[in-house]
Copies of this chain bind each other. A is one copy, B any other.
Amino acid sequence: MDRKPLTSRQLAKLLGVSQSTISRTFSRESSVSPKTREKVLKAADQLGYRPNAIARILSKHESDIVGVVTADILSPFYLDLLNQLSVKMQKNGLHPLLFNLPAGADGADQLDVLRQYNVRNVIVISGRIASSAVAKWAEDGRSVILINRKMDANVGSVRSDNTASSKLVADHFNDLGMKRVAFIGGPTGTPTSMEREAAFTQRVAELGMTLCAIGGGQEYSHEAGVEAVKSVIGKEPEAIFFANDRLAIGGMFALRGELSLRVPDDISIVGFDDIDMAAWTGIELTTVRQDVTAITDAAMTLLEAAILGQPGATDSVEIPCALIERKTTRARRNSPA
């Protein structure tokens, strides 16, 4: 019923103090006598007074709203990321204004809107946003933090270490005695997928295994995994590394179903991400775990630096991944290993 919230001016009048006194008791380091501060705080609490955030933003030119730009949040991995990010932001008094890029959008419009809201800091989870838009944003004194994406521009980024972890997979296959291995990638041209492929390929060669096939190139979807496996199975790989878990699980189902092969007895497979499904009874996929907690923690650190104007805000941090061995890899049959 109290349609109009109390303003600082009204509260001030009620307490017989000046409006600035109210303002001061609600801003950090300001000079108010403990006595009046307490009086104000108590009255505010009783009457339900809250400083108006919009007015504060207008006056201070800085808001505690943080733009979060995403696109195609299909994967549970992104969900997890968004989840953790949003609770951590809240814990720090920051509020995520969400922008989900529709098909075809390059993010420039969205950043424009953010600018209208006096937002200075943005976290980008989507790979689809245009570099030029990001660069322009960063140029006029605003900050952007890229997740799992790299850019030359002067922006912060936090990414999983695709290179080291993909080598881990090659090493694992080698330990298992594999000779012929395959890679199944995500959409052609995706930096992430390309990095994983390059590192895996290189390490495979170093170890003297042969990369007998490369598949994928479509979407990061279950069905793409199914199809890719079929296109690759003719080359008789003993082990397949998939660019993510969805592909891998699709591949596993195709292998066990239509192709009548046993995983891991006949063929080993490894995914990437460690989405929660990967651990499920009946799936138990060996995979590379992206440390979402570490990623979001790092992102928050960069964000805090950006807000405080500290130098670290444009750091580029790389988060190590771990190989989680579950039940889809096994030593090669007839292998001495």
Q: Which residues of A contact B (CB under 8 A)?
A: 1-3, 5, 50-55, 57-58, 63, 65, 68, 73-74, 76, 79, 82-83, 86-87, 90-91, 95-100, 102, 110, 112-113, 115-118, 139-141, 222-223, 226, 249-250, 252-254, 256-258, 276-277, 280-283
A145 to chain B, nearest CB (A): 17
Please indicate the chain B residues that have their CB under 8 angstroms from the CB of A76 in the complex.
76, 79
Please indicate the chain B residues that have their CB under 8 angstroms from the CB of A252 in the complex.
282
Q: Which 10 A-B pairs have the closest CB atoms?
A: A253-B282, A86-B100, A53-B116, A3-B141, A222-B280, A96-B98, A54-B58, A53-B117, A54-B57, A226-B281
B115 and A5 within 8 A (CB): yes
Besides A3-B140, A50-B112, A223-B281, 8 other CB < 8 A contacts? A50-B115, A52-B118, A68-B98, A74-B79, A86-B98, A95-B97, A222-B281, A257-B281
A122 to chain B, nearest CB (A): 13
Give the docked Cα–Cα distance between A100 and B58 (Å). Answer: 26
Please indicate the chain B residues that have their CB under 8 angstroms from the CB of A73 in the complex.
79, 82-83
Give the docked Cα–Cα distance between A270 and B138 (Å). Answer: 51
A1 and B281 within 8 A (CB): no
A254 and B282 within 8 A (CB): yes
Give the docked Cα–Cα distance between A257 and B281 (Å). Answer: 9
- A3, A95, A99: most-surrounded residue (chain B CB, <10 A): A95
Give the docked Cα–Cα distance between A175 and B227 (Å). Answer: 35
A selection of 16 A-B contacts at a CB cut-off of 8 Å is A1-B140, A2-B140, A53-B116, A54-B58, A54-B63, A54-B118, A55-B58, A68-B98, A73-B83, A74-B83, A95-B117, A253-B280, A253-B283, A254-B281, A257-B282, A277-B277
Please indicate the chain B residues that have their CB under 8 angstroms from the CB of A95 in the complex.
97-99, 113, 117
Give the docked Cα–Cα distance between A96 and B249 (Å). Answer: 33
Give the docked Cα–Cα distance between A51 and B141 (Å). Answer: 19
Give the docked Cα–Cα distance between A73 and B79 (Å). Answer: 8
A284 to chain B, nearest CB (A): 10
A334 to chain B, nearest CB (A): 27
Give the docked Cα–Cα distance between A68 and B100 (Å). Answer: 14
Give the docked Cα–Cα distance between A28 and B75 (Å). Answer: 40
Give the docked Cα–Cα distance between A113 and B110 (Å). Answer: 23
A222 and B277 within 8 A (CB): yes
Give the docked Cα–Cα distance between A277 and B115 (Å). Answer: 38
A50 and B116 within 8 A (CB): yes
Give the docked Cα–Cα distance between A51 and B68 (Å). Answer: 21
A97 and B97 within 8 A (CB): yes
Please indicate the chain B residues that have their CB under 8 angstroms from the CB of A257 in the complex.
281-282
Please indicate the chain B residues that have their CB under 8 angstroms from the CB of A249 in the complex.
280
Please indicate the chain B residues that have their CB under 8 angstroms from the CB of A281 in the complex.
222-223, 226, 250, 253-254, 257-258
Please indicate the chain B residues that have their CB under 8 angstroms from the CB of A2 in the complex.
140
Give the docked Cα–Cα distance between A198 and B134 (Å). Answer: 52
A91 and B87 within 8 A (CB): no
Please indicate the chain B residues that have their CB under 8 angstroms from the CB of A141 in the complex.
1, 3
The chain B residue sitting closest to A65, CB to CB, is: B97
A154 to chain B, nearest CB (A): 12
